[in-house]
Amino acid sequence: MRLASRGSPLALAQARFVAQRLEAAQPGRTCELVIVETGGDRDQSQPLSVLGGQGIFAKEVQTAVLDGLADIAVHSAKDLPSSTPDGLVLACVPERRDPADGLVGRALAGLGPGATVATGSPRRRALLHDIRPDLNFVELRGNMDRRLALAGTSGVDAVVVAVAALERLDRADLIVERLDPEMFCPQVAQGAIGLEARAGDSEVFDALQRIDDTIAHRCVVAERAFLVGIGAGCTVPAGAWCTEESGMLRLRVVMAPSGGHAERVVVEGDNPETLGGQAAAALAHLVEGL
């Protein structure tokens, strides 16, 4: 079974994890990686907002599956566009890692007045500014090694990263502070791997169901439904985090308009698509001003 993936160290770690899970779930099954270069990989200089946000790390990986060069597209689920291309389905979400953001370099309490934080995420900037209006921000691009190396150099005091990314790379010891997702709401689907397959490919779909985490999948669907509802991608300062307990979903969402305070909404229910739509409707007044 062929797995299409970006070639970054994090993407490869995720793809190898998926391959191991698939091979363990079906003895005799073998997997191979198909490495794909995306538009986001080719252009490392421009801010993500300029490049168009979500989709720049996913489109070519999706195309490899649609064109028959691979059977499964392996993504960091937070990089997926809010809508799935015709011909593909989000068939599987394996168990999710910690969805929280973390600081490398210095903790919040250790950042002096006017300290500089590196992040390319409008959401992270807006939420940090809501907590610490004195902070300065600079752009952050490149693979994880490049990002981590920036902390403590070139006037940068701290770097914001996804906790799950460092966990997958066995570098979680570098995190000096985990930002509580109850208040510092993560990016939609952060910490999750999204696996897409061709619609109607029953053999691949059956294989993926063996490693699907039903709860994680439902939560990701709810978060993505919120993103669809506000009609936005990762260039908008919005986040969502869903958990499940006893069959009920709890979805926390946030939007932080430029120059304003972050607004948070919490909704509960059992239908992920409906829940995401309700959360989006509650913040619709903010979307109109973006």
Compute the distance between CA of residue 150 and CA of residue 144 in angstroms, rounded to an integer: 10
Please identify which of the residues 132, 141, 250, 264 carries the catalytic annotation.
141
Q: Say yes or no to pLDDT of 233 above 70.
A: no
Please identify which of the residues 31, 71, 79, 224 carries the catalytic annotation.
79
Please identify which of the residues 6, 234, 242, 252 carries the catalytic annotation.
234
Please identify which of the residues 123, 125, 198, 224 carries the catalytic annotation.
123
78 is catalytic: yes
213 is catalytic: no
Please identify which of the residues 21, 78, 96, 106 carries the catalytic annotation.
78
Q: Say yes or no to pLDDT of 232 above 80.
A: no
- Phi first, then psi, for residue 94 (nearest 5°) are -65, 175
Please identify which of the residues 124, 168, 224, 252 carries the catalytic annotation.
124
Cβ neighbours, 10 Å, residue 8: 19
Model confidence pLDDT, tens digit, residues 13-61: 999 999 999 999 999 999 999 999 977 666 555 555 555 555 778 999 9
42 is catalytic: no
Model confidence pLDDT, tens digit, residues 83-99: 899 999 999 999 999 99
List, in order of start, the domains of the chain with CATH numbers. 101-179 (3.40.190.10)
The 3-state DSSP composition of the chain as helix, strand, coil percent (nearest 5) reads: 35, 25, 40
Q: Say yes or no to pLDDT of 260 above 80.
A: no
124 is catalytic: yes
Compute the distance between CA of residue 133 and CA of residue 136 in angstroms, rounded to an integer: 8
239-243, 249-253, 276-280, 282-286: which range is least confident on average? 282-286
21 is catalytic: no
pLDDT at 290: 58
Q: What does DSSP say about strands 116-118 and 158-162: parallel, antiparallel, or unpaired?
A: parallel
Query: Counting Cβ atoms within 10 Å, is residue 117 exposed (0-12), middle (13-18) or buried (19+)?
Result: buried
Model confidence pLDDT, tens digit, residues 177-215: 999 999 999 999 999 999 999 999 999 999 999 999 999
79 is catalytic: yes
Instruction: Report the share of the chain in percent with pLDDT over 70.
Output: 91
- Residue 199 near residue 89, CB atoms below 8 Å: yes
Strand (E) or helix (H) holding 220: helix 214-230
pTM equals 0.92
Model confidence pLDDT, tens digit, residues 117-163: 999 898 999 999 999 999 999 998 777 888 999 998 989 999 999 99
Please identify which of the residues 106, 125, 147, 252 carries the catalytic annotation.
147
- Residue 6 near residue 165, CB atoms below 8 Å: no
Q: Which two tokens stand for residue 163?
A: 């906790």
Give the 3-state secondary structure of residue 271. coil
